[in-house]
Structure 1
Amino acid sequence: MRIGVFLPAAGFPGMDPGEVLGAAVRAAVAAERAGFDDVWIAEHHFMTYGMCPSAVTLAGYVLGRTDRVTVGTAVSVLSTCHPVALAEQAAILDRVSAGRFRLGVGRGGPWVDLEVFGTGLDRYEHGFEESLDLLLAALGRERVSGEGERFRFREVTMVPRPARPVLPVVAATSAGTVRLAAARGLPMLLGMHIGDADKAAMVRAYAAAASPGRHASGTADPLDADGPPAVAGHPAQTDAPAVGHMAAGVAYVADTTREAVGALRESLPRWLGPGLAGYRPVDGRAYVPKDPVEYARLLCRLHPVGSPEHCADTMLATIERTGVRHLVLLVEGAGDPALTCRNIARLGAEVLPRVRAHA
C-alpha cells in the first residue's frame, strides 16, 4: 500500500509562476512530513493548468529538499523529448538520490508543443511505442543504438546507468496504451478523470493483454520488490514481481463533507477554466475543453473530498473496486498554498492512518 501526492503546480488566477513553483516545493516537503510515501510532479507546456514544463527538473530539486519520499514524474512526455536524453536524466536522479527517483512517462496530446519542439504530429500519433522501447533500452542496457523508423544512431555507451533498473510507469488513457504497457510489463498510471469502474476495467484489460508467464495482478509495487520484471531493455527475471498500477485522484479534507465539497466546487473551476482552455491543438482539429463547473462536480463525486471518515472510506472503496494499491492525490485544489499545506497535514494525520489500518 502506497499513498502519494500529485502536484501539477496548478496556476490559479493571480498567482505568479515563481509563487506556484515555490508552493509546489513546499507542498512536497509537507507531504514527506505528513507521512506520504511519494510525490509526483506533472509536466505541461505553455499553459497555466500546470506551470512546470520539466517534471524531471523540478523532481531533482524536490529530491534535494527531501530525505525519505520517492519523487516521480507524472508524467514526462515522450512525444516531445528524446528517449535517450530522458534516460540519462533519470539515471542521474536515480544515482544522486540513492534510488528515490521514479520515472513516469506518457504520450501526451496533439498539442502545439509538438510544433515548438519540432517532434511533429507523427511522433505523437505513431511513435510512442518506438520511443518507449528506446527509453527502456537506454535505461537497462550498457550500450544502446537507434535502429527504428524515427531514431537512428550508432551505438553509444550509457553513462551513467541507474544503480538498479528503472521501471517506468506509463500514463494510460486508451486501450492501445493499456496493451502496450501490458506487453512491456510496465505499471499504469490511471487518470483522475475516470471513476473506479473504468479504472477496474483498464486493470482487467491489462491483465488480459499481459504476456504469457508475466504476472500482472496489480497488487504489488515495484518499489517494494527485489528486482524488476522482464521488459525490453532489462534482464529477464525468473520470479518477477507483480506490476503495481497507480490511480490518481483529487483529495481535500474538511470537518464535514459538505464543507470540503463546497470549497472545491468553488475553487476548482477558477483553475480548470483558464487551465483547460490553454490546450492548443498542433493542427486544425477542434478542441472543446471540459466544462470546468461540471468537471469540478465530477472530481468531487469520484474522489476523496469530504470529512476524514468520508475520505478514508472513498480511498478504501477505490482500492477494493480496482485492486490498485497505490493512490496519488492532487492536493492543490483549494488554490491557496497555505490551504494546500493544511490539507496535506490533515490528510496525513486524519486520513492516511485510517486507510492503512484497513487496506
Structure 2
Amino acid sequence: MSDLLQRYGVFLNVENPEGDARDALGQTVRTAIAAEELGFHAAWVAEHHYSPFAIGSALTVLLSHVAACTSTIRLGTGASLLALNDPLRVAEDIASLDLLSGGRIEFGVARGGPFPEQYRHAGIASANVARERMHEALALIQRLWNEPQTRFDGRFFHYEGVAVYPRPLQRPVPVWLASLASDSQRLAEQHGYGLMATPSADFSEVAEQVAAGRARRGDFPFAIARFFHCDEDSRRAIEHGVAAVRAYPRLMGVQFASGKLPPMFAPGAPEAVILANSIIGTPEQCVARAKALRDRLGPYQLLLKPATHDPVEARASLALFARAAGLAAT
C-alpha cells in the first residue's frame, strides 16, 4: 500500500467516443471496480452536461452503482457542479450515497469549468457568478446536514425552516474544492476543506500555490489529477499519451477565458510541456514522477486520469502502475 504521505486514486471522465452510452457507462464502472482490486485508494468521477462525448451527467446515479459493486474504495465526486444543481437535492443525494456506500464519499465540488454552454442553459451569467453560487450552495448544504432546520437568506438561495433527510453517515463528509482560485483557498482555510487541481492545471503554478497554502495552514488535504498513460515501452507511452492530451480540448469542447489557457493545451504545445504536467512513461518512470510530485507538494493524493479512450487499455495501464507502486496484490 502507498504511504500516508502519498495516496493514489483514479480520475474517471465518462467518455463516449464510439457513441455507445450504455457501454461507456458500464466501462467506467468496470474501471472503478478494477481500481479497487488493484489497491487504489479512491475513484473520482467527473460531472459534465450537454456533451455527446463526456456523458457523466448523472453523477450520483453512476456512483451509487459503483458503490454497489465495490466495498472499500473511496468514492469521489470530481466534481459535483453545485452552481448548476439544486443544493437541497444534492444534499439529499450525497447523504443517501454516503449511507449506501458505508461512509465512503469524498464530496468534491466545482463551479463547472471552461464550459460556457453549461452556464448558459442554467441561466448563469458568467464563471464568476457560478463560483459565487457554488460557494453559497456549499454553505447551505453544510448547514442542511447539521441543523434540525435551516433558515438561509443568501444571494441565490432563500429558505425558511427547511430540513432535508437523510443525513450522511460520515460526520463530517470530507469536502474538496476543485479550484485554486484565491476565494476558494480562503474558504478552504476557514473550514478545513481539501483543495484539488484539475488534470490541465500547470504544475509549476500549482506547486507555488500549495507551498503558500502549507505555509499558512500546515499540512492540508490536497489532490491533483494528472493525465496518465503507462506502457512498458517508453516511446510508445509518450507518443500515445501526448497525442491523447493534445486531442482532449477538442473532444471536450473546452473554452478557456482569455489568458487562462493551460500551457499543455496551447496549440503546438511542446512535448516537454505536456510531459512535465502529466504522468506518462514506463511503470518505473510513472512511479518516479509521482514521487517527484510528492517531494514538491508534500502529502497529497494523485488522481490518475487515463489518457486513452480504450477502457481495456486504461485498465492495463493502471495495473502496470499499481504493480510498480506496490499497490496491487499480484
Q: Show the counterpart of 2:28.
A: 24
Is the aligned partner of 1:124 residue 2:130?
Answer: yes
The DSSP-based 3-state class of the residue aligned with 2:269 is helix
Question: Of the candidates 130, 140, 144, which is equivalent to residue 138 of structure 1?
Answer: 144
Q: Show the counterpart of 1:238.
A: none
Question: Of the candidates 197, 200, 207, which is equivalent to residue 207 of structure 2?
Answer: 200
The DSSP-based 3-state class of the residue aligned with 1:327 is strand
The DSSP-based 3-state class of the residue aligned with 2:91 is helix
Cα displacement (A) at 1:136: 1.7
- Contact kept, 8 Å, 1:265 with 1:297, in 2: the verdict is no
1:274-285 equivalences under 5 Å are 274-277=251-254, 279=255
The one-letter code sitting in structure 2 at the alignment partner of 1:159 is Y
Q: Show the counterpart of 1:178.
A: 185
Distance in 2, matches of 1:30 and 1:135, equals 32
1:1-359 equivalences under 5 Å are 1=4, 2-12=7-17, 14-48=18-52, 50-109=54-113, 111-121=116-126, 123-124=129-130, 126-163=132-169, 164-207=171-214, 216-218=217-219, 243-277=220-254, 279=255, 290-291=265-266, 294=269, 298-331=273-306, 333-353=307-327
The one-letter code sitting in structure 2 at the alignment partner of 1:155 is G
- Contact kept, 8 Å, 2:112 with 2:118, in 1: the verdict is no
Of residues 48-57 and 73-82 in structure 1, the stretch that sits farther from structure 2 once superposed is 48-57
1:159-197 superposed Cα distances (whole Å, 9 cap, x missing partner)? 111122212111113222222222222110112223443
- Contact kept, 8 Å, 1:39 with 1:71, in 2: the verdict is yes
Distance in 2, matches of 1:47 and 1:324, equals 35
1:53-78 superposed Cα distances (whole Å, 9 cap, x missing partner)? 12222111111111111111100111
Change (3 A) 1:345 1:160: same
Of residues 175-184 and 109-118 in structure 1, the stretch that sits farther from structure 2 once superposed is 109-118
Distance in 2, matches of 1:348 and 1:106, equals 28
Cα displacement (A) at 1:316: 0.4
Of residues 304-313 and 155-164 in structure 1, the stretch that sits farther from structure 2 once superposed is 155-164
User: What residue ranges of structure 1 are gaps of 5+ in the alignment?
Assistant: 210-215, 219-242, 355-359
The DSSP-based 3-state class of the residue aligned with 1:326 is strand
Calculate the TM-score normalised by the size of structure 2. Answer: 0.86
- Contact kept, 8 Å, 1:4 with 1:40, in 2: the verdict is yes
Cα displacement (A) at 1:89: 0.9
User: What residue ranges of structure 2 are gaps of 5+ in the alignment?
Assistant: none
- Contact kept, 8 Å, 2:96 with 2:168, in 1: the verdict is yes
CA RMSD of superposed structures (Å): 2.7
Identity rate, percent? 25
Of residues 131-140 and 310-319 in structure 1, the stretch that sits farther from structure 2 once superposed is 131-140
The DSSP-based 3-state class of the residue aligned with 1:255 is coil
Distance in 2, matches of 1:293 and 1:275, equals 18
Cα displacement (A) at 1:157: 2.4
Cα displacement (A) at 1:27: 0.8
- Contact kept, 8 Å, 2:279 with 2:286, in 1: the verdict is yes
Distance in 1, matches of 2:180 and 2:43, equals 21
The DSSP-based 3-state class of the residue aligned with 2:324 is helix
- Contact kept, 8 Å, 1:73 with 1:103, in 2: the verdict is yes
Change (3 A) 1:286 1:116: farther
- Contact kept, 8 Å, 2:81 with 2:109, in 1: the verdict is yes
The DSSP-based 3-state class of the residue aligned with 2:63 is helix
The DSSP-based 3-state class of the residue aligned with 2:116 is coil
- Contact kept, 8 Å, 1:264 with 1:296, in 2: the verdict is no
The one-letter code sitting in structure 2 at the alignment partner of 1:168 is V
1:63-121 superposed Cα distances (whole Å, 9 cap, x missing partner)? 11111111111001111112222111111011111101221101224622233234554
- Contact kept, 8 Å, 1:269 with 1:296, in 2: the verdict is no
The one-letter code sitting in structure 2 at the alignment partner of 1:111 is P
Which contiguous aligned blocks of 4+ residues in structure 1 show a shift greater than 4 angstroms? 285-289
Distance in 2, matches of 1:32 and 1:46, equals 30
Of residues 321-330 and 311-320 in structure 1, the stretch that sits farther from structure 2 once superposed is 321-330
Distance in 2, matches of 1:340 and 1:60, equals 22
The DSSP-based 3-state class of the residue aligned with 1:95 is helix
- Contact kept, 8 Å, 2:38 with 2:327, in 1: the verdict is no
The one-letter code sitting in structure 1 at the alignment partner of 2:309 is G
Cα displacement (A) at 1:38: 0.7
